Amino acid sequence: MTLDEKVDQLLQLATFFYEGSYIDGEITGPMEDLGINQQTIHNSGSVLGGSGASEVKSIQDAHLKTNRLNIPLLIMADIVHGFKTIFPVPLAIGSSFDLDLAKKSAEIAALEASVSGVHVTFAPMVDLVRDPRWGRVMESTGEDPFLNAEFAKVFVQGFQGDDLTADKHRVAACVKHFAAYGAPEGGRDYNTVDMSERQLREMYLPAYKAALEVGCEMVMTAFNTVDGVPATGNKKLMRDLLRDEWGFNGVIISDWGAVKELIPHGIAKDKKEAAKKALEAGVDIEMMTSCYSGHLVELVEEGQVDVALIDEAVLRILELKQKLGLFENPYRGANEQLEKDVIYSEEHLQVAYELATKSTVLLKNEQVLPLQKDQKVALVGPFANNTDILGPWSWQGSREKAINLQQGLETKLAASELSVAPIAEIEKVTAEELAQAIEISKEADVIIVALGEASEMSGEAGSLANIQLPQAQLELVSFLKKLNKPMVTVLFNGRPLDLHGVIDEADAVLEAWFPGSQGGLAIADLLYGVKNPSGKLSMSFPYHVGQVPVYYNHFNTGRPQGAPDAQVRYVSQYLDIPNEPLFPFGYGLSYTNFDYSNVKLSSPELDVNGHLTVNVTVTNSGQVEGEEVVQLYIRDLVGETVRPMKELKAFERINLMPNESKTVSFKIDEKMLRYHHTDLSFTSDAGEFEVFVGTNSQQVVSHIFTLKK
């Protein structure tokens, strides 16, 4: 390869650069903006996008004709929670605590994407999130490092399978956004991230590392700074940590435009310096800007950049192409017939349905749910018949094919039992709409109010300072409340909300998130008790936005609120609101009751080389079958550094018939007790630990054991 060809192999452009005039015509528009010519496109290494087998095949064909060395393109796209069959958003999947179904969803996404010509997915997104103002919390599985790591692994395994070369219906995974993108100051997207290295390693890095440990092929950088250096130009993060310490040898790609963004960040004066910094820091592929294409050749010729760095990056990309079998079959899984056969198959829709039922969280229920079939229902609100329920990052999903709540309810109820008063806008209720909502509600036995956020209110660049529902929706609730009828609220949204104005007014609240293609069906079955809610929050719901960040695995202070010797004033507290979130991590109700009893440790002592067992009996003492996520947390009571009040260490989802009991056993060993000490060593402390078992991070039974070293 010539130096030009090598450098262009590092460039990733969107599909539209591969169409018509960009290939053969004049240099205008985006091409002119990037300062590139057709030859650069002919030499380029990968494409962002790819929405169908025939499109991808024609791009690949045209490319192979013009690429001197016949090097096929890698086709990469964001397949985040499904390709065409859309699953609930990842924050919802996190709330399912169901690793098997999550893995299945990734397998299906991989199959649908691969038959449509995609080779690599920009997923999983595993950024730990604590601030619901940040719109991208919906892309993450939540606030817990252990839960995120568990999901990271199954997503990667689902996408990639066991043998990427042999199985062309899998896609390579690209874990993102390295690193700590989930902690932007003020919850404002792209904003500064600054934290201690200890905190980074304790909380933020485990999920990326878990993805790589199961073989994730690629890593994407983040837009933010980490310790004063943008992640995309951060040598310490990429060369020192990813490559040297973790031994990652796969491809690192910048996020969209992030190499050039080193200029506004203020660590590069121009595109040339940005190229040098990003390459030296470890970025192999530059996405959507042309700092590399425009300047790396010159930098090598001037002796400013070692060509070995370019060779290394090119080799990694070619190796990935080889692993994916592209030199033998540049179309890989792309197959028009299979697109017809597998996309939106019954089986795929069934998994989307199951996952939506398991990730929906019942937040409140004052004896109104499940509904009875003989009740007359008024369905009102902006999500009554809205199909904007797929959520952000569902660019291939079809809203027309999504089942909305009304359609779901129609499968349960005769037309005479269901009246609907939809509201056209998210932020506005007209006088006529309000009048109609009130009119049908007056006639009904129960009101279902379907509220929420439009999908563009979360996701990338979807930060909000106010995380209450739009004022117009809150007013609608208060008007309906005056009717004194049982009121059930169903929420469609991408972030934990401040639920004031809803939580006290409604008799029941079901958090449906953005539930995906089968959402309406799943919610209707939950409302009528065909399915029993079993989702548990993967992220705390704040009592008020002023608490944010509020998360369960926080430290104690020196002046904790509620301590026996606490003073009235000089304790760590707000004067106007509680310290606790409205709903904690792990919280979620069911239509049945689960009693926890006989929580027992096999021994009060844990030997450093041994293990102990925690047994708990869980009994379904209610009337209906249900699933429960049994959770185990640990606190190191005296550490070298302050340790979180609780840390999730294990969980199990179990199914119980009425009156049935099961004993769940969790194994604890010394490895689970390790953490990063002040010198960053990852070790444990001898001494006392508290182990908690329960139905959420607050309602627990606890015991003490001692680690002997």
Binding site for ligand BGC (CB under 6 A): 48, 78, 122, 176, 255-256, 460
Which one, 207 or 371, has the nearer CB to ligand BGC?
207
What is the C-alpha separation between 94 and 539, in angstroms, rounded?
9
What is the C-alpha separation between 33 and 694, in angstroms, rounded?
57
Q: Is 255 a catalytic residue?
A: yes
Q: Left (φ > 0), alpha (ψ -120 to 50) or beta: where does 212 sit?
A: alpha
Q: Is residue 99 within a helix (H) or strand (E), and if so which, with residue range? A: helix 99-115
CB of 140 to ligand BGC, least distance (A): 11
Which one, 285 or 384, has the nearer CB to ligand BGC?
285
CB of 516 to ligand BGC, least distance (A): 19
Which one, 282 or 470, has the nearer CB to ligand BGC?
282
User: HSE (CB half, 13 Å, CA atoms) of 474?
Assistant: 13
CA angle 175-312-160, nearest 5°? 30
Which one, 120 or 405, has the nearer CB to ligand BGC?
120
CB of 2 to ligand BGC, least distance (A): 29
- Written as one string, the DSSP assignment of 263-313 is HHHTS-SSHHHHHHHHHHHT--BEES--HHHHHHHHHHHTTSS-HHHHHHH
Which one, 48 or 499, has the nearer CB to ligand BGC?
48
- Return the number of other C-beta atoms located less than 10 Å from residue 133's C-beta: 22
CB of 161 to ligand BGC, least distance (A): 21
Q: Left (φ > 0), alpha (ψ -120 to 50) or beta: where does 343 sit?
A: beta
Which one, 417 or 460, has the nearer CB to ligand BGC?
460
What is the C-alpha separation between 531 and 516, in angstroms, rounded?
17
User: HSE (CB half, 13 Å, CA atoms) of 678?
Assistant: 4
Torsion of CA 313, 319, 321, 323, to 10 degrees: -150
Which one, 135 or 145, has the nearer CB to ligand BGC?
135
CB of 518 to ligand BGC, least distance (A): 25
Marked catalytic residue, from 78, 98, 144, 255:
255
What is the C-alpha separation between 132 and 659, in angstroms, rounded?
38
CB of 275 to ligand BGC, least distance (A): 19
3-state SS, residue 524: helix
Which one, 78 or 627, has the nearer CB to ligand BGC?
78
Q: Which two tokens stand for residue 272?
A: 């040339």
What is the C-alpha separation between 282 and 291, in angstroms, rounded?
14
Q: Any alpha helices (H) in 324-383, and if so which ranges?
A: 336-342, 346-359
Which one, 67 or 455, has the nearer CB to ligand BGC?
455
Report the residue number whose CB is nearest to ligand BGC.
122
Which one, 137 or 421, has the nearer CB to ligand BGC?
137
CB of 224 to ligand BGC, least distance (A): 11
Backbone angles phi, psi at 308, to 5 degrees: -60, -30
Which one, 287 or 378, has the nearer CB to ligand BGC?
287
CB of 667 to ligand BGC, least distance (A): 36
What is the C-alpha separation between 30 and 22, in angstroms, rounded?
9
Backbone angles phi, psi at 441, to 5 degrees: -65, -35
Which one, 139 or 498, has the nearer CB to ligand BGC?
139
Amino acid at residue number 383: F
What is the C-alpha separation between 636 and 643, in angstroms, rounded?
6
Place of tokens 């025939």: 54
Which one, 174 or 355, has the nearer CB to ligand BGC?
174
Torsion of CA 275, 279, 281, 282, to 10 degrees: 140
CB of 396 to ligand BGC, least distance (A): 12
CB of 261 to ligand BGC, least distance (A): 11
CB of 80 to ligand BGC, least distance (A): 8
CB of 460 to ligand BGC, least distance (A): 5
CB of 256 to ligand BGC, least distance (A): 4
Tell which residue, 231, 126, 216, has the closest CA to residue 174.
216
Residue 98 burial by CB count (10 A; 0-12/13-18/19+): exposed, middle or buried? buried
What is the C-alpha separation between 252 and 216, in angstroms, rounded?
11
Contact 360, 523 (CB under 8 A): yes
- Return the number of other C-beta atoms located less than 10 Å from residue 228's C-beta: 10
Residues 6+ apart with CB under 8 A from 350: none
Contact 63, 72 (CB under 8 A): yes
Contact 260, 274 (CB under 8 A): yes
Residues 6+ apart with CB under 8 A from 318: 9, 71
Residues 6+ apart with CB under 8 A from 274: 233, 259, 260, 262, 263, 268, 291
What is the C-alpha separation between 697 and 584, in angstroms, rounded?
6
Which residues form the catalytic set? 255
